[in-house]
Amino acid sequence: MRLPKRSWEKLKIWDDGPIHLTEEAISRLHEKLAQLKRDLPGLISEAARTADYGDRSDNAEYKEAKSALRRANRQILILGDQIKRAVAIKTGKNTAGTVQLGSTVVLEIEGAQKTFQILGPQETDPARGKISCESPLGALLMGRKAGEIAQLQTANGPRSYRILEIK
């Protein structure tokens, strides 16, 4: 019986372009990669230990251990690729005066003030005020200046966003 060759192309999840992340996110990727590499010897020994139980085709523990080892190896490859392509987003004082990647924007939305930080797609968390530069609102705000009003067409009709401040 001939086994199919593994295609490493299946590991490609994103395009080959840069991944825009904050310094904190890049640091978390490094920590996660280091943790996975520390866990790898234990996963290898667990797979070897369960392989000794006998017939591997009916050995559920071996299959689970082997699956965990494969998951860890896949994550190591993915994290290594992400770290290699990571580009740090500069946060802090915005001297350009326009909304850019890493900017914190204070908006007036229907009389209420909301603050959003514009980040790359991998770090979004709208509940914590972090939106993607590729989201409809993030893309609308990119390149705009304080005082401008931006309109976004939503399912409930048009919505206006006044840019009060860019940090």
- Residue 119 pLDDT: 94
137-166 confidence digits (pLDDT tens): 999 999 999 999 999 998 889 999 999 999
In a domain, 55, yes or no: yes
The residue ranking higher by pLDDT, 64 or 97, is 64
What secondary structure letter does DSSP report for 18? -
Whether the pLDDT of residue 11 is over 60: the answer is no
Give the 3-state DSSP-derived string for 52-89, with helices as H, strands as E and coil as C. CCCCCCCCHHHHHHHHHHHHHHHHHHHHHHHHHHEEEC
User: Within the chain, how many helices (H) and strands (E) appear?
Assistant: 3, 7
Residue 153 in any domain: the answer is yes
End position of a domain, from candidates 88, 113, 137: 88
* Domain span including residue 109: 104-166
141 C-beta neighbours (distance < 10 Å), count:
25
Last residue of a domain, one of 25, 59, 88: 88
Q: Is the pLDDT of residue 1 over 50?
A: no
Give the per-residue pLDDT at 162. 96
Distance CA 163, CA 14 (A): 32
Please identify, among 41, 57, 88, the residue that sits at the C-terminal boundary of a domain.
88
Given a cut of 70, whether residue 8 has pLDDT beyond it is no
Do 47 and 112 belong to one domain? no
CATH of the domain at 60: 1.10.287.180
| Domain total in the chain | 2
Span 99-146, pLDDT tens digits: 999 999 999 998 999 999 999 999 999 999 999 999 999 999 999 999
| Rounded distance between C-alpha atoms, residue 91 and residue 167, angstroms | 9
The length of the chain in residues reads 167
Rounded CA-CA distance 117/106 in Å is 9
Whether 147 maps to a domain, the answer reads yes
List of long-range contacts for 25-30, beta carbons under 8 Å, 24+ apart: 25/86, 25/122, 25/123, 26/83, 26/86, 26/88, 29/79, 29/82, 29/83, 29/86, 30/83
> Residue 131, exposed/middle/buried by CB under 10 A (0-12, 13-18, 19+)?
buried
Q: What is the pLDDT of residues 50-85, one digit of tens each?
A: 988 877 778 889 999 999 999 999 999 999 999 999
